[in-house]
Amino acid sequence: MKILKVGGGSSINWDFVGEDVARFLKNEQLIIVHGAGAIRDEIATQLNTPSRTIISPSGYSSTYTDKKAIEIFLMVYPGLMNKQIVAKLQSYGVNAVGLSGIDGRLWQAKRKKEILSQEGSKIKVIKDSFTGKVEKINTDLLKLLLGAQYLPVLCPPAISEEYEIVNTDNDTATAVLAKEMKCKEIIILFEAPGLLKNYKDESTMIKHIPKEKIDDYLPYAQGRMKKKVLGAKKAFENGVTKIYWGDGRIAQPITRLLKGEGTIIS
């Protein structure tokens, strides 16, 4: 079994992904985790509450998630995006079932009581952000569905111990999911051919990263890509042996990535 994580960019081609998932499932089981960042930002703007980004003092970006942002999150991730993905997969003959981290307490998180935001030279403490770290997975529910030949299609938010709905970092959640499902390989699709030395030049793609040297590649990671590097580190700590980073915009994205078209960390 592998985990397929697909980013939330607007140019991911879900027809290509859906067709290739159907092909993949002939030989092996899969769990999908997806994002929805681009459409979330779009809907948030339409609702006059544009998404706000927080930069942590160590330079990682995340979304400021107050009560209103959680509502928009619920609308877009388990609503608009998840259900459109499930319908698309169904159209390729894949019996997909969409679940958020709330359903069956699939992703149980610890809410962060405070998060730090670097604002110019000042560090601000934010207390009304509903964000958390996934710590526990309801593997029974996933095994129940996989055992009956359903494909679980998962997305945030997660649920806290106090039953709050919390946004969570998908890359870390995927690493915890891999650990608890004893999954050795993660396929990650986003809007680039792989990790690029120069992020403006696709010809500078890095073909292979030795997993013990992943820190050396952090300087090449721009913006949210930094979190993917961090998530990969966490995944390797959790027993994963191979991570594939590839392009979610091209035909047969999974097949081609598994054959080496992308960045492989191992």
Footprint of a second copy (CB under 8 A): 43, 46-47, 71, 74-80, 82-84, 86-88, 90-91, 95-100, 102-105, 140-141, 144-145, 148, 150, 157, 159, 163-165
Given a contact cutoff of 8 angstroms between Cβ atoms, the answer to whether 177 and 226 are in contact is no
User: Could you tell me the two tokens for 153?
Assistant: 């299609």
Minimum distance between the CB of residue 181 and a second copy, rounded to whole angstroms? 17
Of 64, 45, 65, nearest in space to 53 by CA: 64
Q: Which is nearer to a second copy, 144 or 218 (CB)?
A: 144
Query: Is 81 or 235 the residue whose CB approaches a second copy more closely?
Result: 81
Q: Which residue lies nearer to a second copy by CB, 89 or 232?
A: 89
Q: What is the dihedral of CA 71, 73, 77, 81, to 10 degrees?
A: 80
In the complex with a second copy, the residue whose CB is nearer, 141 or 214, is 141
Rounded CA gap, 104 and 77, in Å? 17
| CA dist 130 → 7, 33, 224 (Å) | 21, 20, 19
- Nearest approach, Cβ of 94 to a second copy (angstroms)? 11
Q: Smallest gap, in angstroms, from Cβ of residue 89 to a second copy?
A: 9
Q: Which is nearer to a second copy, 164 or 191 (CB)?
A: 164
Burial label for 44, CB within 10 Å (0-12, 13-18, 19+), is buried
Non-local CB neighbours of 121 within 8 Å, separated by 6+ positions? none
Residues 6 or more apart whose Cβ sits within 8 Å of residue 58? none
Question: Closest approach of Cβ 8 to a second copy, in Å?
Answer: 15
Min dist CB 17 to a second copy, Å, is 15
Phi, psi of 39 (to 5 degrees): -70, -30
CB 29 within 8 A of CB 1: yes
Taking the complex as a whole, the smallest distance from the CB of residue 51 to a second copy amounts, in Å, to 15
Q: How far apart are CA 178 and CA 186, in angstroms?
A: 8
Nearest approach, Cβ of residue 72 and a second copy (Å): 9
Q: Which is nearer to a second copy, 74 or 206 (CB)?
A: 74
Report the C-alpha gap between 46 and 23 in whole angstroms.
Answer: 37
Query: Which of 87, 218 has the CB closer to a second copy?
Result: 87
